[in-house]
Amino acid sequence: MKKKGTAGVCAAALACIFILAGCGNGNRVVNYEETDRESITLTFFGNKYEPENVLIIEEIISEFMEENPGIRISYESLKGTAYYEALEKRMAAGKGDDVFMVNHDALLELKEKGLVADLAGLSTISNFTESMRGQMEEDGRIYWVPTTVSVFGLYCNLDLLKEHNQKVPENLGEWMAVCEYFTGQGITPVLANNDISLKTVAIGRGFYALYQGKGEKEAFRRLNSGEDALSSYLEPGFLLVKEMIDKGYVDARKTLETQKTSDDLQEFIKGEAPFMLTGAWAAGRVDGMEPDFSFEVIPYPILEDGSLLVMNADTRLSVNADSEHKGAAMKFVEFFTQPENISKFADQQSSFSPLEGGAPSSVKEIQALIPCYQEGRTVIGTDAFLEEPIWNLTEEAVKKLLAGETQEEVMEWLDQQAGKERGTE
């Protein structure tokens, strides 16, 4: 079903109007301008569709066009899996956009087909942190640039916890104890969605020791070559997820139907559950929904001795290698990744900056995440050194557990799928 909305930005020098039109799971920015035979139009396709996100993108586009009057930009967006399905179809048909957003799994396929341009020559590359550049660079080439570092957190209803004399958990034992208490009260303690919630718990718990021991690159090399099975690392994380399901800490049936950063947020603001697992980038949106309780977002309390953060280099931009206007497209990506644009984009999304000296978001509800991030108690959810479609595989594995399949069946399926991706099975 269509939903309609408009927003306009006028720049006198450009004589342009943007019209935003939405379709339940997407928005389109249509750019109307006076005819200019010397101008070119770039198409920009992304999965940032929420009005507040589109407004920031629109602002950056408008500023770019003011500086580059010969270039016009049209932005179109779709939500979630619909976006990646459309991206795959467009690129396969040779009708890809000039600039588009990618994630780890989509990039694996696009890169293999030679469909993404090398961005190593952008002047802004040197602004990124050393760890980000390590993720971006591949044999001297760079196929994507991040505009945010997103993190995943546990949302806590502080008023409900206080009402029940429960504390904000700081480790796994404390979290399980609070969950057990609420389950005993007839309250399902953890709201989760059918995409990112539980798979990030599995990835964080499974890979944390690797990152702390600086052994992730060697482990990923062994996984890429097929020497090790994916389940040998991730099974501890999936065992925790299975325990949460079996003990009723999450509602399995409801979780399978819960869409991320939409259905789950609506449930959380009802104030009936003490916890929600999702991206910290939704904190500003939750606050804007005006819940009648206080909340904060904390690191995942899934270690025996503390908490960790799962994070991703996110909102990644790539340029179509077959673009007719590749130079202009790169110029736009370079503009988008200037420090001032990264700063306002990351702050608006309650995320961290991928740049040297970049400040984390000022959104007050996520400030509890910062110490964990600064102390390096982190796991990268989609590490560039892992050549497995980890995001999709773990999502499907969680859904299988939620649907009632056994741990053994799901781990066997996970390894089989990883083998198929490598072409070894």
Q: Which pLDDT score is estimated for 229?
A: 96
DSSP annotation of 167? P
Q: What pLDDT score does 362 carry?
A: 86
Which SS3 state, helix, strand or coil, does residue 153 take? strand
Check pLDDT > 70 for residue 22. Answer: no
Rounded CA gap, 51 and 345, in Å?
A: 13
User: How is residue 419 written in tokens?
Assistant: 């083998």
Using the predicted structure, report yes or no on whether residue 211 has a pLDDT greater than 70.
Answer: yes
pLDDT category at 424 given cuts 50, 70, 90 is low
- 297 φ/ψ angles, rounded to the nearest 5 degrees: -110, 125
Q: How far is CA 394 from CA 111, 121, 150, 400, 424, in A?
A: 22, 34, 18, 10, 19
For residue 218, give the amino acid letter. Answer: E
> Is 44 in contact with 61 (CB distance < 8 Å)?
yes
Other Cβ atoms closer than 10 A to 351: 27
Q: What is the pLDDT of residue 49?
A: 87
Count the neighbouring beta carbons within 10 Å of the beta carbon of residue 315. Answer: 27
pLDDT band at 321 (very low <50, low <70, confident <90, very high): very high
Q: Is the pLDDT of residue 1 over 60?
A: no
Q: Are 19 and 32 contacting, i.e. CB atoms less than 8 angstroms apart?
A: yes
Question: For residue 38, what pLDDT is reported?
Answer: 66
* Cα distances (Å, whole numbers) of residue 253 to 31, 188, 262: 43, 12, 17
AA letter at 280: A
Look up the CATH superfamily of 150-313+364-422: Periplasmic binding protein-like II (3.40.190.10)
CA–CA separation, 159 vs 238, rounded Å?
A: 30
Q: What is the H or E stretch that residue 40 is in?
A: strand 40-46
Mean pLDDT of 381-393: 95
Phi, psi (rounded to 5 degrees) for 176: -65, -35
Q: What is the pLDDT of residues 100-120, one digit of tens each?
A: 999 999 999 999 999 999 999
> In which band, very low, low, confident or very high, does the pLDDT at 363 lie, cut at 50, 70 and 90?
confident
pLDDT 10s digits, 67-105: 999 999 999 999 888 999 999 999 999 999 999 999 999
pLDDT for residue 409 is more than 50: yes
19-23, 37-41, 124-128: range with lowest mean pLDDT: 19-23
Sequence ranges of the chain with CATH classification 3.40.190.10: 17-147+315-348, 150-313+364-422
pLDDT score of 23 more than 70: no
pLDDT band of 271, cuts 50, 70, 90: very high
Over range 252-270, report the average pLDDT.
96
In tens, the pLDDT along 168-203 reads: 999 999 999 999 999 999 999 999 999 999 999 999
Show Cβ contacts of residue 341 under 8 Å, excluding neighbours closer than 6 positions: 60, 63, 147, 335
The superfamily CATH assigns to domain 17-147+315-348 is: Periplasmic binding protein-like II (3.40.190.10)
Q: Identify the bridge partners of residue 377 per DSSP, sorted by sequence position.
A: none
pLDDT, residue 83, reads: 95
Tokens at 418, concatenated = 């990883």
The mean predicted confidence, pLDDT, of the chain is: 90
- With a cut of 70, say whether residue 398 has pLDDT above it: yes
Residue 348's pLDDT is 86
